[in-house]
Structure 1
């Protein structure tokens, strides 16, 4: 399993970057308190979706790819980075998509040295490539743009999607066949955006529209790639609806609070950051009763529910396959000359 993404998937890669806390770190208490009992760099009180999916697949919990300790690359790698953008200019400080893709190419070379070309190709065919990207790009766009037209929004979405498509094609060319795409979350309904843009408690429509545009376009691209490319298989996981429904109807899923974050201060516990020593914040006594851990990210208990949906959910939340079905799928090894033509024409 190879993991690409932003803070939703970051296991602590940002710990190893020369950046400040304000630029994107979660390596301080109370982060990590629920499961690990120490801050790992995950933007959560415990485990995140890639941890749960790894466990379901019989793989160990993720260590950051940037961790200098030895890695068992035979089980994959996690390149995700809090604040990571698809478009490089949106955040120069963390591991954007091109950097993550470069790390993946490093891994392919290391595996080839370790296993030989044939076994590496087989490993890459059988691996799953899971990604959660684009949210930071749209948050950046929203904070720097006002009174944009729908066509300008669509143009921006097309640029983001185009870059994700190109990265997906790069992975395909290197041998990847199984892709798990997680949709962008309900950006307009998280505590941070409610506190910043709309104190009445309603979701911020502008960000919701952007996220929906992205998710629809990503699903369409994935479907087109499956038609065009031999052996290309994918799933789309509706993180957007699954999380938003929990935020709007917390009691239905065993939560008590769906709007305020467990950790933070001010309106929705989202105006003051969680755990920074220089700021005051409040911490709830039981994170499992909250949908959101901090201003932007769900709690471990919420992630556990979402990961279960991703792994073996039905077609209303993950389609055309769930992750277990994708994981168990046997991919034909051969790439015909027609496929090579398709790749070169793309």
Structure 2
């Protein structure tokens, strides 16, 4: 065995110890993807349930608003492309929808824990608990069609019963739980029990997915929430008020908010280790989205992007904020908060969500396993047979 291969194996869990080199790995041939998350991976749930997105959302790739909080494709779209699947349809879509290769349960503003907020207050009824229950319903209802003696063309729009055990289950949720804690005035010290509770809730839902047959779980940690432009003083504070030393890091990100995200991620990674011991026949991959996104933010200019604090769509100047695609009054004058000329140069689309270009950059770096534990490319991340 090559020394390089030996070094890699020392960091892999027990279920991977029998593999000698990456060349010997067999592609998983996933038949479907089932995704859980918030607006970072919502492909149409919120738009179908409440109000549809409007242009310029979707303008870059789809050339129309398609329920995504970006100018184009999301990371989950690039995951689907990479695995050879069509883009995932939202579970509650009702017209012209095929779920043959999976379904997307993610919804904008969703959280792991239940929040005492309505949609109009920035909340969502589609918590992770609801999303995993939707998976339960989806599996049970589609299974009935395949259990009938006579199968018809209707079943071609659904995954086969055996596909659920072979599918990959992706999770990208938790950012809104951290944001809720911040909005409630919590700092690092008093957020500790809350973050622990959030992770416990997450563990329960992962166990639910496992009990429904999920054996390949691809879990994203949460990104650097303190680096979202809307969190930065340049967009939400009085410019006359000086920023205290240590409040911002070297990239202009709000340090304590990122520290809270890091604390969540640390506890999440410990949970993943625990779940691997609890479910040894499953493959549970921890994806460090925080590091991937922070690397992009740290090297924005080098990678061809403008300053990461800049926002492509919307109006955010001198304490005045008009959301992307909307009209508003600024200094007695009505303005339309449209898109920048070239979204591909921006990391932030609307101050909260990433542009297609940034999503593509990040996807390219997580799909090959560079930010994963264990460092497996996604197509090799299923359990050993």
Please give the range of the TM-score, normalised by the shorter of the 2 chains: 0.7 to 0.9
Partner of 2:285: 235
Quote the offset at 1:149 in angstroms.
5.4
Partner of 1:322: 377
Quote the offset at 1:96 in angstroms.
1.4
- Aligned residue for 2:322, secondary structure, equals coil
- Aligned residue for 2:309, secondary structure, equals strand
Q: How far apart are the structure 1 equivalents of 2:326 and 2:344?
A: 22
Q: Which runs of 5+ in 2 are unaligned?
A: 1-32, 149-158, 330-334
Partner of 2:185: 145
**2:216 and 2:383 in contact (8 A); partners too:** no
Q: Which runs of 5+ in 1 are unaligned?
A: 20-24, 333-346
Partner of 1:338: none
Quote the offset at 1:39 in angstroms.
0.7
Matched, 1:172 2:210: yes
**2:45 and 2:105 in contact (8 A); partners too:** yes
Quote the offset at 1:86 in angstroms.
1.1
- Structure with the bigger percentage of helix: 1
**2:282 and 2:383 in contact (8 A); partners too:** no
TM-score calculated relative to the size of structure 2: 0.77
Quote the offset at 1:127 in angstroms.
0.7
* Worse overlay, 275-284 or 58-67: 275-284
- Aligned residue for 2:285, secondary structure, equals strand
Deviations 1:288-308 (CA, angstroms, capped at 9, x unpaired): 111111111111011011112
Matched, 1:303 2:359: yes
**Total equivalences in the alignment:** 319
For residues 113-124 of structure 1, the aligned pairs below 5 Å read 113-116=144-147, 122-124=162-164
After superposition, the CA RMSD in angstroms is 2.3
Partner of 2:131: 100
Structure with greater Cα Rg: 2
Quote the offset at 1:164 in angstroms.
0.7
With over 3 angstroms needed to count, the CA separation of the structure-2 counterparts of 1:182 and 1:238, relative to structure 1, is: same
With over 3 angstroms needed to count, the CA separation of the structure-2 counterparts of 1:226 and 1:197, relative to structure 1, is: farther
* Worse overlay, 68-77 or 58-67: 68-77
- Aligned residue for 2:145, secondary structure, equals helix
Quote the offset at 1:136 in angstroms.
0.7
Of 109, 116, 139, the residue aligned with 2:140 is: 109
TM-score calculated relative to the size of structure 1: 0.85
